[in-house]
Structure 1
Amino acid sequence: MDLDQIKLAIANLPDAEYKALTEWITEHDFDRWDKEIEADLESGRLDPLLNELKQEIKEGKTTPL
């Protein structure tokens, strides 16, 4: 099944099934985002941003949550 066929199938879903699909996609997307953030943290990719944030907290420019 190609993307156009998937789009057509989605467009023809009954409302309840469409709602269930969009809820699943949203949850799936959040899970993927969480895994990406975790991988970025573990790899050190976010270290420069975290260091900048720590400096801003130290300088009183922002407050931690």
Structure 2
Amino acid sequence: MGIVENIERQIQELSANELAEFRLWFAEFDAQLWDRQLESDVRSGKLDTLANDALRAHAAGQTTKL
């Protein structure tokens, strides 16, 4: 049995309260990973083209207020 299958089996054995606690932990864990990846992408310039396109569209009046 692989690691993922083992984790899946263990998650299935959690009580309702343990599952709720795990969900909260995992949501925070996943958000932190996503934040780190986004920060890395920003620092490396991967998002520069998208940002510049958005700024040009805004300057050209092609955006709407939220």
Q: TM-score, normalised by structure 2?
A: 0.89
- Identify unmatched segments of 5+ residues in structure 1: none
Cα displacement string for residues 3-47 of structure 1 (whole angstroms, at most 9, x for unaligned residues)? 111111100100000010011111111111111111000000100
Match of 1:25 in 2: 26
Aligned Cα RMSD in Å? Answer: 1.6
Q: TM-score, normalised by structure 1?
A: 0.90
Q: Matched residues, percent identical?
A: 32
| Shift in alpha-carbon separation, 1:39–1:56, aligned structure 2, 3 A | same
Moved over 2 A (4+): none
Amino acid corresponding to residue 41 of structure 1 in structure 2: V
